[in-house]
Amino acid sequence: MEKIPNQKAWFLVLPVFALVAFSAVIPLMTVVNYSVQDTFGNNKFFWNGIGWYQELLSPSTELGGRFFASLWRNLAFSAIVLAIEMPLGIVIALAMPREGWGVAFSLVVLALPLLIPWNVVGTIWQIFGRTDIGLLGYTLHWLGSDYNYVASPLDAWLTIIAMDVWHWSSLVALLCYAGLKSIPEAFYQAASIDGASRWAVFWAIQLPKMKRVLLIAGLLRFMDSFMIYTEPFVVTGGGPGNSTTFLSIELVKLALGQFDLGKAAAMSIVYMLIIIIVCWVYYTVMTNAGEDRGSARGGP
Amino acid sequence: MARIDLVDLAHSYAGNDADPSSFALKPTSMTWRQGGAYALLGPSGCGKTTLLNIISGIVRPSRGTVLFDGGDVMALSTQQRNIAQVFQFPVIYDTMTVGENLAFPLKNRGLPRAQIEARVAEIARLLDLTPVLGRKANRLSVDAKQKISLGRGLVRADVAAILFDEPLTVIDPGLKWELRSKLKVLHRTLDLTMIYVTHDQTEALTFADTVVVMHEGSVVQTGTPEELFVRPAHTFVGYFIGSPGMNVLPAEVEGRQARIAGHLLGLDKSYGALPAGARIEIGIRPEFVDVATPAPGLLSAEIERIDDLGRARFARLRMGNLKLAARMPKGLSIAGSAAGLVFDPAQIHVYADSRRVEEAA
């Protein structure tokens, strides 16, 4: 049978094209457009080429200095929360009950922080940490600590990290729990027959079987923590000084505070590229890790 | 290496107070001799896996005791019982190489390195795994993985018994034959007690020297494949083993005669008083009933269809409202559907309430 060319099919995909254009392509291209121009009041635009990008990527300039400072801050923050939340999530998942009423109970308790709107999370911790009325801040003061997240950069960091761990460890735990539940009982039976210790069961069975979900959990947590805005904005507003000014906070200061649309647009593009590249590298490395290429090395 | 005795074993997943007729394993006593190759045969849900898991210690029975060489092992864990078990789906440790997988049980028991390596090399050679020892185990085919699971059991020199829980379910038919003959060879070389759970009669009959048939939580017969075929102790054994299964026909039996559907049938042996009120049936395998041209003195039946199984032809017949199967002798062709039946009296068994009745002297 001969195929009849029918261009009407294009009409069927048109809505999707329109939707993607309006939701992603057009806004993105607007940003690209801003990033190569300088803006003044009264909507005056001047062509600036790759000038903003050059300034952004050289740490000696004012813009580049701010960008790299918040980038390192943000990378450090992501590394710290990942280093805490991943092991903690695994430990929580391992400690969760496998059957009975405890399953539903622990699932609900774990899901609670995930259901709270982000600015509410920020507000909760902002109040929690206050030394006059907050339970945490007041207690620490009463115990003799001079904890004050408004004045001390270290305390501000500790508060924000504690908040993120409180907020997001559940996600890692729930994903790991799902991974653990999918391990067939025969694996545990075989391990007990093989005389494996609890530790060996973890390393030989549970961790390898959780690899896929851990990969997803790590990816999600990296992206989220690298894009974090609301919670630190509510708790510290980026301070004290610039000590908790992460990339997104810096970006908002630049775009809305100073109305430097060109600089902010260039920073957005680089910011986005960093996230995409890091995620791609992470995913590629993790999916290839531990796979041999079928080479026979011989011997146990 | 051990003789395994099961003493009055019973198990209910619903707890000890459950109705005895609902028990997954009804009270059972039996002995598995050292070095035997046993098959535990029965349909899904007949309690064979439960029985296996009780022996290995994964399931704690509601009642009864398991003895290894006369010693009570009920208090011992699976590991302490020194049992190896191969599951339906291959269990391998993904991150390890084949060699590391095989070495794992020995490493956990703290054996010296040299000894582990020697033993792993030996088992790998037995299982033809030597060429892949350095490969990641999760990259191999499913039959190689199943061999690794088996190898982890064999690698321990002092293992008391190897239990197989339908180990060939996920293996391709061609490789099934290969693995099964491998198992037979291993059994002969290593002199191990092997218990093999399956619902596949071919697997059971080719692997085992003793087949244990289970039905609804009870062991209904233990015997060699030949015994199961020639003298089924229970109508279920007759029906489950053999293809087509045994003909089981309601009958009245008196002395040396049986009456089925109004016809008299001579028996080889004399049966005395049968249990009063019991359901009496006779059983005869289709292989021992021949179809013949109708003649006076023969039971007459109507042919419904003929199945050609290649090596033999079997006729499906109807006699009144009874159905039965019978062998078509080579070269016989019958015009029309009317046929006569020739029974071999020596092969007729009498069953009271499904259990075989021994003839009176």
What's the half-sphere exposure (Cβ side, CA atoms, 13 Å) at B297? 2
**DSSP 8-state class, residue B128:** T
- Residue A1 confidence class, pLDDT cut points 50, 70, 90: low
Rounded CA-CA distance A292/A86 in Å is 25
Q: Provide the residue-wise pLDDT of chain B in tens; the chain has 361 residues.
A: 578 888 888 888 887 777 777 788 888 888 888 888 999 998 888 888 888 888 888 888 888 888 888 888 888 888 888 888 898 888 999 888 999 999 999 998 888 999 999 999 998 998 888 998 888 888 888 888 988 998 998 888 788 888 998 888 888 888 888 888 888 888 888 888 899 998 888 888 888 889 999 988 888 899 998 888 888 999 999 888 888 889 998 888 888 888 887 778 888 888 877 777 888 888 999 999 988 888 877 888 888 888 888 888 899 998 888 888 999 888 777 777 888 888 888 888 888 888 888 765 4
Which among B94, B132, B152 has CB closest to A194? B152
Whether chain A has a CB inside 8 Å of the CB on B108: the answer is: yes
Which among A184, A203, A300 has CB closest to B89? A184
Work out the burial of residue A258: count CB atoms within 10 Å of its CB; fewer than 13 is exposed, 13-18 middle, 19 or more buried: exposed
User: 3-class SS at B319?
Assistant: strand
Rounded CA-CA distance B264/B45 in Å is 39
Whether chain B has a CB inside 8 Å of the CB on A258: the answer is: no
Q: Which of residues 191-220 of A touch B (CB under 8 A)?
A: 192-197, 200, 203-205, 208-209
One DSSP character per residue, B153-168 reads: HHTSTT--EEEEESTT
pLDDT digits (tens, 9 = 90+) for A6-26: 788 888 889 998 999 888 888
Task: With beta carbons under 8 A apart, name residues in chain B contacting A298.
Answer: 133-134
Residue B247: φ, ψ to 5°? -75, 125
| Helix pair A261-288, A26-35: axis angle to 10 deg | 120
Which among B102, B133, B152 has CB closest to A298? B133
**Residues, chain A, total?**
300
Cβ contact B132–A296 (<8 Å): yes
Best residue in B78, B123, B145 for a mutation probing chain A (most A CBs within 10 Å):
B78
CATH of B247-356, one of 3.90.1150.10, 2.40.50.140, 3.40.50.150, 3.40.800.10: 2.40.50.140
Cβ contact B56–A193 (<8 Å): yes
CATH of B4-240, one of 3.40.50.300, 3.40.50.2300, 3.30.70.1140, 3.90.110.10: 3.40.50.300
Say how many C-beta atoms besides its own lie within 10 A of residue B281's C-beta: 22
Asked if omega into B294 is within 30° of 0 (cis), the reply is no
User: Vertex B252, ends B246 and B257: CA angle to 5°?
Assistant: 90
Rounded CA-CA distance A199/A205 in Å is 10
Of residues B306, B256, B314, B307, the one with CA closest to residue B282: B256
Which among A187, A192, A292 has CB closest to B79? A192
Residue B280: strand pairing partners: B352
pLDDT digits (tens, 9 = 90+) for A85-140: 999 999 999 999 888 888 999 999 999 999 999 889 988 998 898 888 888 888 88
Domain boundaries, chain A: 76-244
Task: With beta carbons under 8 A apart, name residues in chain B contacting A190.
Answer: 85, 87, 91, 149, 152
Q: Positive or negative, the Cα torsion across B223, B227, B229, B233?
A: negative
Of residues B189, B140, B195, the one with CA closest to residue B165: B195
One DSSP character per residue, chain A reads: -PPPP-TTHHHHHHHHHHHHIIIIIHHHHHHHHHHTEEEETTTEEEE-TTHHHHHHH-TTSHHHHHHHHHHHHHHHHHHHHHHHHHHHHHHHHHHS-SSSHHHHHHHHHHHHHHHS-HHHHHHHHHHHT-TTT-HHHHHHHHTT----TTT-HHHHHHHHHHHHHHHHHHHHHHHHHHHHHTS-HHHHHHHHHTT--HHHHIIIIIHHHTHHHHHHHHHHHHHHHHT--HHHHHHTTT-STTTT--HHHHHHIIIIIS--HHHHHHHHHHHHHHHHHHHHHHHHHHHHTT---S------
| Helix pair B113-126, B142-154: axis angle to 10 deg | 130
Average of per-residue pLDDT across A148-171? 90
Nearest chain B residue to A294 by CA distance is: B135
User: 3-class SS at B47?
Assistant: coil
One DSSP character per residue, B177-201 reads: HHHHHHHHHHHHHHT-EEEEEES-H
Q: Positive or negative, the Cα torsion across B239, B243, B249, B253?
A: negative
Which among B79, B99, B136 has CB closest to A292? B136
Structure tokens at A36: 């190569």
> Does residue A289 have a pLDDT over 70?
no
Say how many C-beta atoms besides its own lie within 10 A of residue A157's C-beta: 19
Q: What is the mean pLDDT of chain A?
A: 86
Cβ contact B108–A195 (<8 Å): yes
Rounded CA-CA distance A235/B148 in Å is 56
Task: With beta carbons under 8 A apart, name residues in chain A contacting B132.
Answer: 296
Note whether B230 and B223 are within 8 A (CB): no
User: 3-class SS at B93?
Assistant: coil
> Does residue A2 have a pLDDT over 80?
no
Name the minimum distance, in Å, from the CA of A183 to any CA of chain B.
11
Best residue in B52, B73, B104 for a mutation probing chain A (most A CBs within 10 Å):
B104
Taking every pair of Cα atoms in chain B, the longest distance, rounded to a whole number of angstroms, is 80
> Does residue A291 have a pLDDT over 60?
no
> Does residue A293 have a pLDDT over 70?
no
User: 3-class SS at B233?
Assistant: coil
Average of per-residue pLDDT across A58-86? 90
**DSSP 8-state class, residue B106:** H
Note whether B66 and B74 are within 8 A (CB): yes
Q: What is the pLDDT of residue B361?
A: 45
Characterise B206 by phi-psi region: left (phi > 0), alpha (psi -120 to 50), beta (else): alpha
User: Vertex B86, ends B132 and A207: CA angle to 5°?
Assistant: 70
Task: Among A244-258, A285-299, B110-124, B318-332, name the one with the lowest average pLDDT.
Answer: A285-299
Cβ contact B102–A192 (<8 Å): no
Q: What is the pLDDT of residue B137?
A: 87
Name the minimum distance, in Å, from the CA of A202 to any CA of chain B.
11
Domain boundaries, chain B: 4-240, 247-356
Average of per-residue pLDDT across A205-225? 89
Which among A187, A193, A204 has CB closest to B85? A193
Q: Which residue has the tokens 């530790």?
A: A199
- C-alpha dist (Å) from residue A157 to A152, A172, A223, B229: 9, 21, 19, 79
- C-alpha dist (Å) from residue A93 to A173, A176, A187, A216, B64: 5, 6, 18, 15, 37
User: 3-class SS at B30?
Assistant: strand
* CATH number attached to the domain at A76-244: 1.10.3720.10
Task: With beta carbons under 8 A apart, name residues in chain B contacting A291.
Answer: 136, 139
Rounded CA-CA distance A79/A76 in Å is 5
List, in sequence order, the alpha helices (H) in chain B: 48-56, 78-81, 98-108, 113-126, 142-154, 173-190, 201-207, 225-230, 235-240
Best residue in B55, B94, B119 for a mutation probing chain A (most A CBs within 10 Å):
B94
Note whether A111 and A170 are within 8 A (CB): yes
